[in-house]
Amino acid sequence: MADERHSGDHPFRFPQDADRDFPHGGARSTPNGGPGVSGRARRRSGIRAEHIITMSGRHFLQIPGPTNVPERILRAMDRTVVDHRGAELPAVVFEIVEGLRGTFQSRDGAIALFPASGTGATEAAVVNTLNPGDRALAFNNGAFSHAFAEVARRFSVDVDEVDLPWDRGVPPDLIRDRLAADADHTYRALLVVHNETSTGATTDLAAVRRAMDAAGHPAFLIVDAVSSLASLDFRFDEWAVDVALAGSQKGLMLPPGLGIVCIGARALRRAEDVTTPRAFFDWRPVLKEMERGYFPFTPATLLLYGLREALRMLSEEGLPQVITRHRRLAEAVRAAVRAWERPVQCREPAEYSNTLTAVVVPEGADSDAVRRVAETHFNLSLGAGLGRLAGKVFRIGHLGSLNELEVLATLAGTELAMTVAGIQVPVGAGVAAAQRVLLEHVGT
Ligand SMILES: Cc1ncc(COP(=O)(O)O)c(C=O)c1O
């Protein structure tokens, strides 16, 4: 029997399912002895549920989201729950809307918040813009791109999902050619993931917009910005994005629990005509209530306080500086991976993600073994390989609240974990390479 974790193409399998299979302490074992951990293996590796929380020092949560939540944000959320229909909330909501607009780089984008994860925001983007039978052009260049197409398909959208290698972004030329060939403009929307979190490849959205314009195609541009918002340059207005969706748990440095949508004028109008059944994810009542500073449901009140604080922190650092910091830290991580003589999953240097790096382990090695050692021995969480990359890569998250020393510690821990897991790396070489990169940037 094939190991399910390796079949990223199952129509009803979301990348999150693959994550769920990974043994975080006491997870299920796989019947075929695959990468899940059997009871015996668990005993051998010493994984116990209570092990991680009793380890001294701080846990290094270096998965590509959720990310570390800074103390300042924790403190902002550590408060009495307020009446979500009371006098206090509107000021919080208005500040959040303004702050998020700045982060999306949009002057007038409408902001809708849902107590949901990023997938909820994906569903909101789909059900408010697409009708059953509408055609959409999507790309399978990673687990999350595939999941995006899958959500649309669940609502009977006729998705044309172009299969691509899982080692780069979506080529803008391909988009131009596909759209130019659609002379009757049958595609209602283009679904693109800005930063493919499963592979560490970023799609050049400025070039995507140019490709759409070159083809003269009016399709809606719907973008998943879950692992790019507040970390990579995201220009909602300049790139004429119609809908962008995100979650709270990545660049925004919050716990999971908020689905965030930024909506342009065209998509707002379209939502009035769409007939797709929608209730919770109908953004119209949400936008209407948020204009008054409230919600049509019970919002995730404390996360709103956290989000306000996160946006204040981003504004204090400055969005350009936040973007530059992510680039600097990513370059340090990539220098370390080069020093380890390991390839990264993304094969196109111009598309290397500045929020995560997927490191390819040698043929025959198991990337989950590296993760297990990192977690149990060094209190360091690394991201799993998802879908068809299960067992083949581990992912280093370098986004959100993060600085130079945290990156160096993460790299040191990764070197130790690889070594203990039996992957030969020159111990210290990655850290030294990263230090050299960081030294070059001092004072810049
Ligand atoms: C690019 C991308 N899209 C969508 C999702 C799904 O978001 P969530 O797990 O918050 O539902 C993720 C999660 O990691 C992601 O990285």
Listed in order, strand segments (DSSP E) in 230-291 are 243-247, 259-263
**The token pair that represents 337 in the structure block:** 């991976």
Torsion of the alpha carbons at 416, 422, 423 and 425, rounded to the nearest 10: 50
User: Strands across the sheet with 135-140, in order?
Assistant: 110-114, 259-263, 243-247, 220-224, 187-193, 135-140, 158-163
- Atom 16 of ligand 1 has which residue's CA nearest to it? 197
Measured in Å, residue 331 CA sits from the centre of ligand 1 at 23
Atom nearest to 247 CA in ligand 1: 10
Mutation test residue for ligand 1: of 141, 227, 260, the one with most atoms within 8 Å of CB = 227
**The token pair that represents 105 in the structure block:** 């780089």
For residue 234, the model assigns a pLDDT of 98
Query: How far is it, in rounded angstroms, from Cα 117 to Cα 104?
Result: 18
Query: How far is it, in rounded angstroms, from Cα 32 to Cα 87?
Result: 57
In the chain, count H helices and then E strands.
16, 13
Mutation test residue for ligand 1: of 122, 144, 193, the one with most atoms within 8 Å of CB = 144
Query: How far is it, in rounded angstroms, from Cα 406 to Cα 402?
Result: 6
Query: How far is it, in rounded angstroms, from Cα 161 to Cα 232?
Result: 25
**The token pair that represents 408 in the structure block:** 């160096």
Cβ of 30 closer than 6 Å to ligand 1, yes or no, is no
Measured in Å, residue 17 CA sits from the centre of ligand 1 at 12
Atom nearest to 195 CA in ligand 1: 1
In this structure, what are the phi and psi dihedrals at residue 157, rounded to the nearest 5 degrees?
Answer: -75, 140
In this structure, what are the phi and psi dihedrals at residue 295, rounded to the nearest 5 degrees?
Answer: -135, 155
Query: How far is it, in rounded angstroms, from Cα 94 to Cα 373?
Result: 45
Q: Is the peptide bond before 165 cis (omega within 30 degrees of 0)?
A: no
Helix (H) / strand (E) element for 92: namely helix 89-104
Measured in Å, residue 120 CA sits from the centre of ligand 1 at 10
For residue 55, the model assigns a pLDDT of 79
Cβ of 144 closer than 6 Å to ligand 1, yes or no, is yes
Measured in Å, residue 432 CA sits from the centre of ligand 1 at 32
Listed in order, strand segments (DSSP E) in 54-152 are 60-62, 110-114, 135-140
Tens of pLDDT along the chain (444 residues) come to 333 333 333 333 444 444 433 333 333 333 333 333 334 444 444 455 556 556 789 999 999 999 999 999 999 999 999 999 999 999 999 999 999 999 999 999 999 999 999 999 999 999 999 999 999 999 999 999 999 999 999 999 999 999 999 999 999 999 999 999 999 999 999 999 999 999 999 999 999 999 999 999 999 999 999 999 999 999 999 999 999 999 999 999 999 999 999 999 999 999 999 999 999 999 999 999 999 999 999 999 999 999 999 999 999 999 999 999 999 999 999 999 999 999 999 999 999 999 999 999 999 999 999 999 999 999 999 999 999 999 999 999 999 999 999 999 999 999 999 999 999 999 999 999 999 999 999 865
Measured in Å, residue 145 CA sits from the centre of ligand 1 at 10
In this structure, what are the phi and psi dihedrals at residue 217, rounded to the nearest 5 degrees?
Answer: -100, 135
Cβ of 17 closer than 6 Å to ligand 1, yes or no, is no
Burial label for 27, CB within 10 Å (0-12, 13-18, 19+), is: middle
- Atom 5 of ligand 1 has which residue's CA nearest to it? 118
Neighbours of 94 (CB within 10 A): 15
CB 399 within 8 A of CB 356: yes
CA atoms within 13 A on the CB side of 28: 9
DSSP string, 180-202: HH-TT--EEEEEEESEETTTTEE
The 3-class secondary structure across 362-405, one letter per residue, is: CCCCCHHHHHHHHHHHHCEEEECCCHHHCCCEEEEECCCCCCHH
272 Cβ contact list (under 8 Å, min separation 6): 284
**Closest C-alpha to 220, from 164, 271, 256:** 271
Query: How far is it, in rounded angstroms, from Cα 408 to Cα 239?
Result: 35
For residue 125, the model assigns a pLDDT of 99
Query: How far is it, in rounded angstroms, from Cα 128 to Cα 213?
Result: 24
**The token pair that represents 270 in the structure block:** 């379209």
3 Cβ contact list (under 8 Å, min separation 6): 30, 32, 34, 35, 390
Helix (H) / strand (E) element for 359: namely strand 356-360
Amino acid at residue number 55: M
For residue 54, the model assigns a pLDDT of 64
Q: Which DSSP symbol is given to 171? A: -
Residue whose entry in the numeric block shows the structure tokens 């939540």: 69
Cβ of 357 closer than 6 Å to ligand 1, yes or no, is no
Judged by phi (left if over 0) then psi (alpha if -120 to 50, else beta), residue 133 lies in: left
Measured in Å, residue 43 CA sits from the centre of ligand 1 at 32
Cβ of 193 closer than 6 Å to ligand 1, yes or no, is yes
